[in-house]
Amino acid sequence: MTVTAPKTDAVLLAASDLARSVLEDVAEPGTIGAHLGMDLLEERLGMHWFECTSPGYRGWRWGVSVARVSRAKVATVCETNLLPGPDAVLAPEWLPYADRLAPGDLGAGDVLPFRPDDPNLEAGFEATGEEDVDQMAFFELGLGRPRVLSAEGREVAASRWYDGDHGPTAEIATKATEHCTTCGYFLPMAGALRATFGVCANEWSPSDGRVVSLDHGCGAHSETDLDHPEPTPIGEPIVDEFAVDLEPAERVDRDDEDQAEQSDQAEESHGSDDPVTD
């Protein structure tokens, strides 16, 4: 918004009081703040800026354009404006309803509106004549469909795929040792994109069922063979039957042994006096 002028205009620069007085007739009371300066838009045409103190317009500025004719010593007010400044709070840029859907937003049961002028499609052709023809060959040529992918549409799709997560610049591809072009799970595409893209059919790959470029790659390559390290050698087991471990026995006091013997003798003598009954 600010235009750098090669020179200043003293008459327009001195018209700040005039600009404020005119602005007071337009703005709500108490919403005109400090003078922020003047920008010389063109020769003999300038814009005085004033701070807007209204609570609902934070970062906005009052602008009063002033001008003068050649050799005039008095400025004239042209118009007043309330314009957003660099720090103004603004609403998001308007996006038409037709452009608000993004890839990935479509869910089950959703239907996109018909686009008769889709730049990625062009009119198709339909075969006429004999019915005993190679229908598969016609399908490859796009015959029988109202519209087919245009050259522009193919280029847009190819660029999106090649620059995406399944192209050569993906992190998983840069760390892979082999490319999809030599993988047994790689299914080439038909048509003009066959030389660049195919479909991954490896369930262990993160790209399974997705379009991948020939120079893409991952760790699930069919020919990947890692060098397995040799196992650490382990010696034969040794049975040692000659080593004897000695452990000290528990020490028993002599008094405890005498008491134990007396108890045993008393039990034996008591048992011999019991009458024997048949």
pLDDT class of 134 with cuts at 50, 70, 90? very low
How much is the pLDDT for 18?
94
Contact 65, 46 (CB under 8 A): yes
98 or 255, greater pLDDT: 98
Cα distances (Å, whole numbers) of residue 180 to 197, 206, 208? 9, 13, 12
Helix ranges restricted to H, the chain? 10-13, 16-24, 135-141, 151-162, 171-174, 254-272
How many whole angstroms separate alpha carbon 218 and alpha carbon 214? 12
Rg (CA), the chain: 47
Residue 9 reports pLDDT greater than 70 = yes
How much is the pLDDT for 250?
74
Residue 215 reports pLDDT greater than 90 = yes
- Structural domains in the chain, sorted by start: 10-84 (3.10.450), 152-213 (no CATH)
The residue-averaged pLDDT of 224-240 equals 72
The residue-averaged pLDDT of 239-267 equals 68
Report which residue type is found at 190: A
Residue 88 reports pLDDT greater than 70 = yes
The residue-averaged pLDDT of 182-189 equals 91
- Strand-pair partners of 40: 46
pLDDT class of 121 with cuts at 50, 70, 90? confident
Q: What is the pLDDT of residues 22-70, one digit of tens each?
A: 999 999 999 999 999 999 999 999 999 999 999 889 899 999 999 999 8
Cα distances (Å, whole numbers) of residue 93 to 90, 96, 217? 9, 10, 40
pLDDT class of 260 with cuts at 50, 70, 90? low
